[in-house]
Chain A
Amino acid sequence: MIPRYQKIIFAVLLLASLGMGVKLWQLRERAHKRLLAGETTAPTQAPEVAPAEQATLVAANDMDNSLIPQVHSLPLPADPGARARAVLGKLLDLYASPNSTHPVPGGAASIAQVFLLPIPGAKASNTGNQLAVVNLTATFAASHPSGLETESLTVLSICATLRANLPNVTEVRFLVDGQLRPTLAGHADLTRTYLTADALPTQGNAP
């Protein structure tokens, strides 16, 4: 003998299932009709683009081993991590362009991500200083010219550009495809933490 309450539950569930089936059928029919009517689903409103802002790119020059600040106007997102990635992408676009003073292939796509993290330690957390973890692509590292000067300039110009646009970033670490890598292309040490204060723009030829 089936209890009465079980019969009621069964009936309710059956009715709910039928109701949902009918509703699903109606939605399907409606979508089908919209498709047949040629209703366009193309976007009619442009996505919101960040306004162009002034950014300082500290560009390297292989001929005199210098780091020279240049001001560029480019759209910068509000999120600091995305902002850092946009600025570094622009810097690497400069390096990938013809007649670059520091030719390095790859461009903006070479920056996979930039993570901004608070620096571990009580003192640092009070000052708001941040550690930037720059994740480069393996393609960028593989195609980077090998040499003490060229690799050091790439690393130091990234550090100096981060410092110029995000003053809270005081330390920078590098990853390649999310992994620690001993050197960029055989020379520049990527296992150490770089201090942005040490990567100041220079005029070259000054020890």
Chain B
Amino acid sequence: MRWSRQLRHWVPPVWILRPGWDFSLTASLLFALAFAVPCAGQTPPAPRFVVLLDAAHGGDDTGAHLDSGQLEKSVNLALNVRLRSLLAARGIQVVTTRESDASLALDQRAAFANHANAAVCLSLHASESGAGVHLFTSSLAPAPQTRFLAWKTAQSPWITRSLALAGALNSALTHAGVNVTLGRIPLSGIESMTCPALAVEVAPERNSDKNITTEPDNPDYQARVAAALAAAILEWRSDPNRTEARQP
């Protein structure tokens, strides 16, 4: 055999057999080589699908004061917990920026998202203004991916995918009977995130006379919104056109 002929003439490098050489290191090298060669022919493992949930505000930053007497920071955290549970139950890895009444700067929240290499980033808000659920994408103009990104406009290469994610969430929420408003506005924290990112603002449900029928902190309403968001994220994960959060 050609391989055996070659091996017969193969001489181990001198440095491996040199006196004083650490043979345990040699064994480790050979072990690593033995595993590296068969792995080279296999397909790479499926990339992780991580969802980052950012319950906005917290600590001294209370956010809005809702008519029900609740503070926005608490309502955001409640929705965060519901959504995290639903996603985790479906086998999706979830990273949250806060699990308690903690104060976090916008830059810290963006750093969480970028370190997590998230495929979906949602900033959760609640408000007494408007109706239904507001889905906001950054108003930054789309830009091509570059090796180095400015911190304040790092979201630019992900704008197209953020808009596609907004479309997926819009479909799921509308299907669940929730009124949805889409918009593009300046979003300071989100504009530093390197992932498809949205701000989700839960507003009251209103009747045709614009009177409030359901407050944003209503548990049933929150459960309905969380279920629709989880369904949309599942659909987003299986979307063949979805490109990964990170560029190669």
Binding site for B on A (CB under 8 A): 62-65, 145-150, 152, 156, 185-189, 192, 194, 198, 202, 204-207
Contacts and interface: CB of A to CB of B under 8 A. Distances in A.
A43 to B, nearest CB: 45
* Main SS class of interface, B: mixed
A63 B210 contact: yes
B101 to A, nearest CB: 16
A202 B185 CA distance: 12
Contacts of B130: 62-63, 65, 147, 149-150
Given A147-B64, A149-B201, A207 B166 contact: yes
Name the residue in B135, B183, B199 with the highest tally of chain A Cβ atoms < 10 Å from its Cβ. B183
Contacts of A204: 181
A147 B125 contact: yes
Contacts of B183: 65, 149, 152, 202, 207
Contacts of B158: none
Interface residues of B, number: 34
B72 A146 contact: yes
B244 to A, nearest CB: 22
B208 to A, nearest CB: 11
Contacts of B186: 152, 188-189, 192, 194
B127 A65 contact: no
Nearest to A99: B210
B166 to A, nearest CB: 5
B163 A207 contact: yes
B62 to A, nearest CB: 8
Name the residue in B64, B65, B201, B203 with the highest tally of chain A Cβ atoms < 10 Å from its Cβ. B64
A187 to B, nearest CB: 8
Nearest to B64: A146
Contacts of A202: 183
Contacts of B127: 145-150
B134 interface: yes
Nearest to B140: A198
A186 B137 contact: no
A107 B124 CA distance: 31
Interface in B112-152: 125, 127-131, 134-137, 139
